[in-house]
């Protein structure tokens, strides 16, 4: 959903953007969590769309001048779960917002909360949960959660829905070891990468290895010869072949690659190759694609209600393997829903305002 101010006011807004910047970057690229901020102003632009909702706010400074601020928040999928809809914050409303300021002198704020004129408060990401609350397992050991174990060679049934918010952390600068062990070529590629190069911002597939770090749900179906994993984020399907097949010679590379798996007692081991070039995380650490090999180990708990997942990335851009760790847990009330669609409108709008659209289209 998009609602805009009149054309003449849009022109004024563009004029007021003295330091245009590209939105949708990873959080650390744009915002400083150590710099809390608070603003009061009038909403003059609303973009309730994925990859995340944004608002424009007119703020009157102490000297009487009017400033234009870019107010960013989380994805529409997360907003819906927090009870935040397209009409929660509308054009013309005067509100107080608080959150994390952008780096430097940028007129940006990542919104953590909002207060309306009537005094009601709204949290775009819902109430803040403690680590113990995030890692709580609501499922019960005396209940069946799987759909069916089709392949008798699998040690137990892992089918059904899983919640990936368990042991979650942001997929930004989360890879070990640190400092990042670049090769000379990897460092060159990284230093030449700008945040607007991120294909995800224009609604291209998230792909591996970033999907591995997503907090959203996944649904697993045991199809006998393979596990079919459907990720809630981007409706991303993944096939993990369990029948020993090799990579077909004519199979084109893809964002999710070609995955084969096998069981080592209670650990599901998955190896993925045939990936397209992309990014390893939200800070856009580069991935070569053609030379990338990813190995995952999903170690299931004795009660089968949780799994600790470890991903090891081998890539010629790095002199050492990179490791990412996450968890998944059964949830009693979890269902996997179709997420809100992604709209690249904001991405191209940002390029236009930053004077980078022609450069992007010329590539």
pLDDT in tens, 16-31: 333 333 333 456 667 8
pLDDT tens column, 209-234? 999 998 888 999 999 999 999 998 87
Q: Which is nearest to 101 in space by CA: 51, 30, 52? A: 30
Query: What percent of the chain lies above the pLDDT cut of 90?
Result: 54
Q: Record the tokens describing residue 188, joined without a space.
A: 């060159």
| Residue spans in the chain of domains classed CATH 2.40.128.20 | 133-329
Q: What pLDDT is stored for residue 199 in this prediction?
A: 81
Q: Record the tokens describing residue 23, joined without a space.
A: 């939105």
Phi-psi region of 92 (alpha: psi -120 to 50; beta: other; left: phi over 0): left
Residue 302 above 90 pLDDT? yes
Q: What pLDDT is stored for residue 92 in this prediction?
A: 95
Q: What pLDDT is stored for residue 10 in this prediction?
A: 37
Q: What pLDDT is stored for residue 1 in this prediction?
A: 43
Q: Which residue has 């170690």 as its token pair?
A: 299
Q: What pLDDT is stored for residue 6 in this prediction?
A: 39
For strands 108-115 and 121-122, give the pairing.
antiparallel
What is the C-alpha radius of gyration for the chain, rounded to an integer number of angstroms?
22
Q: What pLDDT is stored for residue 12 in this prediction?
A: 30
Do the Cβ atoms of 172 and 28 come closer than 8 Å?
A: yes
CATH code for 2-128? 2.40.50.140
Give the DSSP letter of residue 23.
Answer: -
Topology of domain 133-329, CATH: Lipocalin (2.40.128)
| Residue spans in the chain of domains classed CATH 2.40.50.140 | 2-128
Q: Record the tokens describing residue 308, joined without a space.
A: 């600790």
Summarize the confidence of residues 26-48 as an average pLDDT: 85
Q: What pLDDT is stored for residue 21 in this prediction?
A: 36
Q: What pLDDT is stored for residue 50 in this prediction?
A: 82
**Counting Cβ atoms within 10 Å, is residue 160 exposed (0-12), middle (13-18) or buried (19+)?**
buried
pTM: 0.75
For strands 258-264 and 236-241, give the pairing.
parallel
Give the pLDDT band of residue 147 (cuts 50, 70, 90): confident
Number of Cβ within 10 Å of residue 208's Cβ equals 26
Q: Lowest-pLDDT range, 9-23, 131-145, 287-301?
A: 9-23
Q: What pLDDT is stored for residue 130 in this prediction?
A: 65
Residue 135 above 80 pLDDT? no
Residue 243 above 90 pLDDT? yes
Q: What pLDDT is stored for residue 75 in this prediction?
A: 82
Average pLDDT, the chain: 85
Residue 4 above 80 pLDDT? no
Give the pLDDT band of residue 341 (cuts 50, 70, 90): confident
More confident residue, 343 or 118: 118
Q: What pLDDT is stored for residue 131 in this prediction?
A: 67
* Top-confidence range, 29-38, 66-75, 139-148, 252-261: 252-261
């Amino acid at each position: 959903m998009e609602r805009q101010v009149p054309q003449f006011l849009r022109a004024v807004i563009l004029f007021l953007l003295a330091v245009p910047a590209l939105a949708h970057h990873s959080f650390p690229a744009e915002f400083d969590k150590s710099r809390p901020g608070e603003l009061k102003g009038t909403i003059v632009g609303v973009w309730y769309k994925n990859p995340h909702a944004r608002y424009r706010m007119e703020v009157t400074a102490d000297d009487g001048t009017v400033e234009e601020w870019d107010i960013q928040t989380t994805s529409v999928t997360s907003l819906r779960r927090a009870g935040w809809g397209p009409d929660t914050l509308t054009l013309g409303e005067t509100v107080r917002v608080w959150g994390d300021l952008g780096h430097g002198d940028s007129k940006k704020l990542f919104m953590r909360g909002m207060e309306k004129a009537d005094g009601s408060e709204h949290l775009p990401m819902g109430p803040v949960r403690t680590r113990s609350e995030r890692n709580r397992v609501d499922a019960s050991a005396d209940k069946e959660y799987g759909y069916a174990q089709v392949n008798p060679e699998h040690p137990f049934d892992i089918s059904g829905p899983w919640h990936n918010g368990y042991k979650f952390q942001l997929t930004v600068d989360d890879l070990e070891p640190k400092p990042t062990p670049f090769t000379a070529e990897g460092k060159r590629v990284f230093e030449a990468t700008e945040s607007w190069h991120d294909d995800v911002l224009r609604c291209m597939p998230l792909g591996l290895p970033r999907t591995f770090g997503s907090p959203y749900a996944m649904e697993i179906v045991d199809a006998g010869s393979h596990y079919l994993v459907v990720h809630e984020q981007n409706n991303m399907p993944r096939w993990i072949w369990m029948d020993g097949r090799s990579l077909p010679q004519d199979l084109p590379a893809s964002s999710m690659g070609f995955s084969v798996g096998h069981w080592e007692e209670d650990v599901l081991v998955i190896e993925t190759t045939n990936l397209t070039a992309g990014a390893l995380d939200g800070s856009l650490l580069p991935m070569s694609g053609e030379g990338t090999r990813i190995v995952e180990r999903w170690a299931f708990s004795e009660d089968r209600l949780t799994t600790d997942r470890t991903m090891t990335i081998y890539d010629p851009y790095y002199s050492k393997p990179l490791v990412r760790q996450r968890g998944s847990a059964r949830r009693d009330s979890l269902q996997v829903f179709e997420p809100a669609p992604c709209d690249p409108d904001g991405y191209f709008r940002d390029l236009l305002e930053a004077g980078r659209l022609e450069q992007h289209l010329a590539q």
